[in-house]
Amino acid sequence: MITKLRRSFVLAFLSVIPAGNPLFCGQAATLQAQTDIYRQIIIPETLFLDSPLPPVATETFTPIDLTKDIRLEHLSFATQYGMRIPAIAYVPTHIKGKAPAIVIVPGHGGDKTSWYAVYAGLLYARAGAIVLTYDPIGEDERNSTRASDTRAHDTPTNLLHPERVGGLMVEDILQAERYLSQRTDVDPRRIAILGYSMGTLHAAVAAALSGPRALILSAGGNLDGPNQYWETGNKINCQIAPYKALNKNMGNNAGLLLYQHISETTNTLIMNGTADGLITKFNEQQPWFDDLRARIAIPQLPNQHLPETIFYKDVGHRPSFVNRDAALWLNHQLHFPNWTDAQINAFPTITAHAWSARNNIPINKGYDTPTSEGGVEAIDLNLPGPTRAQLQAIPDATWQQHRDLYTWDAWLTHAEAAEQTNR
């Protein structure tokens, strides 16, 4: 998986690190050199990321003024094999100076039409941020039928390395960050990534590589060891294979090392529920994260950003990054142009269920319950619900003519060909 030349270099370097957990090396310089090796070689090659990443090559289409203060920009940008990612940017219509920016990373089956992606886009655009939402591979405009909640990327494949799928999802986030950082109206030092559920894994890996200003992981972030949450279940392509590969090539310490790399540059907030049966399967509640903090704390890094946590009692699986706690935390990281803490504290709230029903933007079946997504207490600014048609980035004629630039089936053909070439 790692080339012979690079593998010999990596092994030679690691052989001089003091014995014991590599997180507790004696010198800050050695720690930085080790981090660089993981960021530049081990993680990218483990997940088959492009190196260097392709040019962003943004293509824009006709925007929509959804309200007097929010514009929907329709666009796509490049990813692996010359393919493209359909995306929507929620842009404040009156930007003064450089704006902060946010990437929304969906959960399993989610895409840019998911209620929480739409809500986060609208909410934080009101705050004065530019928010990017996009379709993961296999969903919406990256599906051959342009359907949502298909989980097409879970289809069994002929890939020898199904971790390529998770790697693509990570590369998509890196490209989304690069797109935002290249906008003339964005402050590249104030970019955040918000990941939900499955997206917490991909967002964490991307953050370890790119070092954004802030990272929120909701309903996840429990980056555990071998044979635990991320290596079990039935999500082979997007979760199990990539995490197993990372653990294998990171000395069975993938979670610890990823968090160490993140903590060098990025402030992180983990938002979970005590009744989330998915991510608490291995008893990964507050004590687990307290132990994680202790294990990644390094005295030689005085400015280390150890992850913060919020656990909500009796709450299940949900994207909490649209609630008041998240808005306050993000304001401290990104300094929203339009909001103060006092304003955030004064805003009313609405449940996701009520907003979804009012705007006809459905919540994923099985998650529209008081303990799960339906019960999220989101900040209520009387946000409108765009139609599904308004959330399609690529004009129909363009998509029909160039569908092989977008879909799961086309990407899989490229990936299988790449494996044949490299055998």
Q: What is the CA radius of gyration of the chain?
A: 20
Backbone torsion region of residue 140, taken as left when φ is above 0, otherwise alpha when ψ lies between -120 and 50, otherwise beta: left
Domain count, the chain: 1
CATH of the domain at 412: 3.40.50.1820
Question: What's residue 402's pLDDT?
Answer: 98
Residue-wise pLDDT tens digits, 37-66: 999 999 999 999 999 999 999 999 999 999
Domain that holds residue 269: 4-422
**Which residue ranges of the chain lie beneath pLDDT 50?**
1-5, 7-9, 11-26
The structure's pTM equals 0.94
pLDDT value, residue 87 = 99
Let me know: does 113 contact 124? Beta carbons within 8 Å. Answer: no
Q: Which helix (H) or strand (E) holds 246?
A: helix 241-249
Amino acid at residue number 397: A
Task: Write down the pLDDT at residue 53.
Answer: 98
Tokens 């649209």 correspond to what residue?
A: 322
Q: What is the pLDDT of residue 2?
A: 45
**What is the number of other CB atoms lying within 10 angstroms of the CB of residue 288?**
15
The confidence score (pLDDT) of residue 301 equals: 80
pLDDT of amino acid 423: 62
Phi, psi of 218 (to 5 degrees): -115, 130
Confidence at residue 7, expressed as pLDDT on a 0 to 100 scale: 47
Confidence at residue 131, expressed as pLDDT on a 0 to 100 scale: 99
Which residues have a Cβ under 8 Å from the Cβ of 52 and sit 6 or more positions away?
Answer: none
